C-alpha cells in the first residue's frame, strides 16, 4: 500500500503553503514538534482513508472540538479592559485596606462590562441591566467589586435569583426571545413580585440603554462594610461615576444600532482605548453608621433600596482609568472570574440576604464554568501579590506547594507559610441573635416609595421614556391578565404614569387606590 503524507490538492504537487522563511516563529504541535504540512491529513494513497498515525491532525482536531466552555449562566455577553485604580483621598480612619491608606496608591485592575439576560452572541443595545465588575489586584490580594449600572436589584433574597433569571431568559419551550425583557414569562414573574418595582422603574428608564460603557455609572448595590485597623466598622455603598458623564440612546436608536452593529458597545470601548481616549471613572463611597441606617423607614440590608445621595453625599476616594485592551478575549474576558466574596482586609460583608447568596453562588458556578478548582491559576485570575498556601492537585494544578510540607501546623524548619494574626483577614465580629426563620423582615416591606422617588426625580422627557418603554414592553405580552397585573402596580408609583400606560395599552381605566396595600381595580379593554 502506498502511504503518503503529501499534498493531495490537485495541481499543487507535494508542496505545502508555508510562509517564506521570514524569521518568524516555526509552527509546532502543542508538544513542540515542528510541523511540516498544515494543509493535508496523512492518507493511505492519494485518495485513500485517513490514518490514525497522523498525530498532528488528531491533536489539532481534538483541541478544536474542546474549544467551548459553558457561557456564564448570567452576564454571558461581556467585554473587558485593563487599567489601574488610584486612591485620591485616603481613608485609613474608615478602612484598614492598604489600597485606601494613602493618596497615590495605585493597583492594576481588570474591568468587565456585560448585559445580564442575553446569551454570548446577543446584541449590545438590549434593554437590560449592565454588569460593571472590577477586579483590583491589590498588595493584599484580589478585591472584586461586582456591581451593576443600576444601584438597586430586582429581588431582596438570593432565593429568588434563579426564578428571576429563568423568567428573564428565553422561554424554555420556544427558546426566545434572546435578548430583551419583552415577553410573558418575564412580566408574569415581575408582576407577581412587588419588590421588583423600584428596579423596574430603572430598567424601563434610559439607564437600561446606555450609549456606551464609557457613559455608565456603576454601583456595588449592597451595603458593604469597611473595617478600620481598630476593628471598627462603617457601612458603605460603592459608586462609580463616569468622567465622561451619563448618556443613553433612545429606544428607536437602540433598535437600529442592534441591527446595524450588534457589537456597538464593545467596538466603542476597543476604539476608545486604541485611540488613547482612555475612559475614566471616579470611585465614591457613601459611608454611614447604625444610627443613620436606623433613621430610614427601609432597611439598608434590602438591595431593592438605595441611600439617597442628598441624605448621604458620595465622597470621591479614587479614580479608575482603563488604558489597555485585552490581548486575547477568551483568555482574559471570558476566563475572568469575579466573586463578591473576594475581599481584602478592611472590606467586609453585611447580612444583606442577596449578598450572602451571591457569596455562595460565584465560586460555585466558576468551578463548573472554568473546569475545576484551580481557576485562580489562570493569569487573569491570579493575584499579583505573593501567594502561598497548601492547596494542591486537582485538574490543571500549576502552583503545588514546593518541598515536603503541605500541611500546617508542621515542625519543619522550612515549613512553608504561616497565618498572620496581625495582618491577616479578620471577619468583623458582628453580634448575632435570634431564632432561625424563613420569613422576610417587616423592614423589607415597602416596595413602592423608592420606585416613586425615582420616577418623580426624572425629567418630563425621561418620564415619557419610562411610560413608552412600559407600553412597548407590555404590548408584547400576549396574556392580558399579566398586562393587567403589571399595570395594577403603577398607581402605587404614580397616578399619571398608570394612566398613560393604561391608555397606551387600551385599558378603559386604571383606578388609583387610596390604600396602597389594596390592589387597584382595573377595567380590561373590551
Ligand atoms: C455574574 C452582578 C446578583 C449570580 C455577574 C456579573 C456581574 C454580576 C457584574 C458578571 C461578572 C463578570 O463580568 O464575569 C450582580 C449584581 C447583583 C447580582 C450587581 C445584585 C445586586 C446575583 C445573585 C446571584 C448571582 C443574587 C445568585 C445568587 C451570578 C452568577 C454569575 C453572575 C452565577 C456568573 C458568574 C460566572 O460565571 O463567572 N453578576 N449579580 N448574581 N452572577 Fe450576579
The 3-class secondary structure across 156-204, one letter per residue, is: CCHHHHHHHHHHHCCCCCCCCCCCCCCCHHHHHHHHCCHHHHHHHHHHC
User: What was the pLDDT predicted at 2?
Assistant: 44
User: What was the pLDDT predicted at 17?
Assistant: 52
Q: What is the H or E stretch that residue 82 is in?
A: strand 78-87
Q: How far is CA 227 from CA 106, 230, 335, 429, 520, in A?
A: 20, 8, 31, 10, 46
- Ligand 1 center to residue 391 CA distance, Å? 26
User: What was the pLDDT predicted at 22?
Assistant: 76
Nearest CA to ligand 1 atom 31: 74
- Ligand 1 center to residue 439 CA distance, Å? 24
Q: How far is CA 22 from CA 19, 25, 376, 396, in A?
A: 8, 9, 38, 35
Residue 419 DSSP SS3: coil
pTM comes to 0.94
- Ligand 1 center to residue 268 CA distance, Å? 24
User: What was the pLDDT predicted at 23?
Assistant: 83
As given in the structure block, the three cell numbers for residue 525 are 379593554
503-512 CB contacts, 8 Å cutoff, 24+ apart: 504/467, 504/468, 504/470, 504/471, 504/475, 505/471, 505/474, 505/475
Question: Tell me, what's the ipTM?
Answer: 0.94
Q: Which residues carry a binding-site annotation for heme? A: 72, 112, 161, 358, 362, 369
- Does ligand 1 come within 6 angstroms of the Cβ of 450? no
- Does ligand 1 come within 6 angstroms of the Cβ of 362? yes
Question: Is residue 318 a contact partner of residue 86, using CB atoms and an 8 Å limit?
Answer: yes
Question: Is residue 234 a contact partner of residue 289, using CB atoms and an 8 Å limit?
Answer: yes
As a whole number of angstroms, the distance between CA 433 and CA 351 comes to 12
Q: Identify the burial level of 403 via C-beta atoms within 10 angstroms of its C-beta, where 0-12 means exposed, 13-18 middle and 19 or more buried.
A: exposed
As given in the structure block, the three cell numbers for residue 381 are 485570575
Residue 321 DSSP SS3: strand
CA neighbours closer than 13 Å in the CB half-sphere of residue 500 = 16
In the chain (526 residues long), the average pLDDT of successive 10-residue segments reads: 44 49 90 97 97 98 98 98 99 98 98 97 97 98 98 98 97 87 92 98 98 98 98 98 98 97 98 98 98 97 98 98 98 98 98 98 98 97 96 95 94 93 94 93 96 98 98 96 97 97 90 47 40
As a whole number of angstroms, the distance between CA 328 and CA 32 comes to 21
- Does ligand 1 come within 6 angstroms of the Cβ of 129? no
- Ligand 1 center to residue 43 CA distance, Å? 50
Residue 323's contacts (CB-CB under 8 Å, 6 or more residues apart) are: 82, 83, 84, 273, 278
Which atom of ligand 1 is closest in space to residue 78's alpha carbon? 13
Strand 315-324 versus strand 78-87 pairing type: antiparallel
User: What was the pLDDT predicted at 195?
Assistant: 98
As given in the structure block, the three cell numbers for residue 263 are 457589537
Q: Identify the burial level of 237 via C-beta atoms within 10 angstroms of its C-beta, where 0-12 means exposed, 13-18 middle and 19 or more buried.
A: buried
Could you give phi then psi for residue 68, rounded to 5 degrees?
-85, 140
- Does ligand 1 come within 6 angstroms of the Cβ of 342? no
The catalytic residues are: 75, 148
Q: Determine if residue 394 is left, alpha or beta; phi over 0 gives left, psi from -120 to 50 gives alpha, anything else beta.
A: left
Amino acid at each position: 500500500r502506498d502511504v503518503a503524507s503529501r499534498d493531495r490538492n490537485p495541481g499543487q504537487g507535494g508542496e505545502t503553503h508555508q510562509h517564506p522563511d521570514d524569521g518568524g516563529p516555526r509552527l509546532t504541535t502543542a508538544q513542540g514538534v515542528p510541523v511540516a504540512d498544515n494543509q493535508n491529513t496523512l492518507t493511505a494513497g492519494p485518495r485513500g482513508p485517513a490514518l490514525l498515525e497522523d498525530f498532528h491532525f488528531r491533536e489539532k482536531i481534538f483541541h478544536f472540538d474542546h474549544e467551548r466552555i459553558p457561557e456564564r449562566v448570567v452576564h454571558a455577553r461581556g467585554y473587558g479592559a485593563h487599567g489601574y485604580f488610584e486612591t485620591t483621598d485616603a481613608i485609613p480612619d474608615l478602612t484598614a485596606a492598604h489600597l485606601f491608606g494613602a493618596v497615590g496608591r495605585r493597583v492594576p485592575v481588570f474591568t468587565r462590562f456585560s448585559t445580564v439576560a442575553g446569551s454570548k452572541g446577543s446584541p449590545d443595545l438590549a434593554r437590560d441591566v449592565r454588569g460593571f465588575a472590577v477586579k483590583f489586584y491589590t498588595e493584599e490580594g484580589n478585591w472584586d467589586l461586582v456591581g451593576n449600572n443600576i444601584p438597586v436589584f430586582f429581588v431582596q433574597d438570593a432565593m429568588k435569583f434563579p426564578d428571576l433569571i429563568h423568567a428573564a431568559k428565553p422561554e424554555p419551550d420556544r427558546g426566545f426571545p434572546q435578548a430583551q425583557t419583552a415577553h410573558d414569562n418575564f412580566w408574569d414573574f415581575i408582576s407577581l413580585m412587588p419588590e421588583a418595582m423600584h428596579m423596574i422603574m430603572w430598567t424601563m428608564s434610559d439607564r437600561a440603554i446606555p450609549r456606551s460603557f464609557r457613559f455608565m455609572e456603576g454601583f456595588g448595590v449592597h451595603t458593604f462594610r469597611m473595617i478600620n485597623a481598630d476593628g471598627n466598622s462603617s457601612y458603605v455603598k460603592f459608586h462609580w461615576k463616569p468622567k465622561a458623564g451619563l448618556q443613553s440612546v433612545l429606544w428607536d436608536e437602540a433598535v437600529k444600532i442592534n441591527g446595524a452593529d450588534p457589537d456597538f458597545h464593545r467596538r466603542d470601548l476597543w476604539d476608545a482605548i486604541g485611540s488613547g481616549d482612555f475612559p475614566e471613572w471616579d470611585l465614591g463611597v457613601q459611608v454611614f453608621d447604625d444610627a443613620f441606617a436606623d433613621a430610614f423607614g427601609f432597611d439598608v440590608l434590602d438591595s431593592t433600596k438605595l441611600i439617597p445621595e442628598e441624605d448621604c453625599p458620595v465622597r470621591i476616594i479614587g479614580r479608575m482609568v482603563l488604558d489597555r485592551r485585552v490581548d486575547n478575549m477568551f483568555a482574559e474576558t471570558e476566563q475572568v472570574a469575579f466573586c463578591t466574596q473576594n475581599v481584602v482586609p478592611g472590606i467586609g460583608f453585611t447580612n444583606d440576604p442577596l449578598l450572602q447568596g451571591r457569596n455562595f453562588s460565584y465560586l460555585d458556578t466558576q468551578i463548573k464554568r472554568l473546569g475545576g478548582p484551580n481557576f485562580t491559576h489562570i493569569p487573569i485570575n491570579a493575584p499579583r501579590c505573593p501567594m502561598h498556601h497548601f492547596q494542591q492537585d486537582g485538574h490543571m494544578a500549576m502552583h503545588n506547594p514546593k518541598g515536603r510540607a503541605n500541611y500546617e501546623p508542621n515542625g519543619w524548619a522550612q515549613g512553608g507559610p504561616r497565618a498572620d494574626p496581625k495582618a491577616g483577614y479578620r471577619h468583623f465580629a458582628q453580634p448575632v441573635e435570634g431564632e432561625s426563620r424563613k420569613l422576610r423582615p417587616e423592614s423589607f416591606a415597602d416596595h413602592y416609595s423608592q420606585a416613586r422617588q425615582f420616577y418623580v426625580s426624572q425629567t418630563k422627557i425621561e418620564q415619557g421614556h419610562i411610560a413608552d418603554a412600559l407600553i412597548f414592553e407590555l404590548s408584547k405580552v400576549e396574556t392580558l391578565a399579566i398586562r393587567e397585573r403589571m399595570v395594577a402596580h403603577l398607581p402605587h408609583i404614580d397616578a399619571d404614569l398608570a394612566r398613560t400606560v393604561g391608555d397606551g395599552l387600551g385599558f378603559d381605566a386604571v383606578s388609583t387606590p387610596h390604600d396602597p396595600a389594596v390592589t387597584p381595580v382595573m377595567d380590561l379593554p373590551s
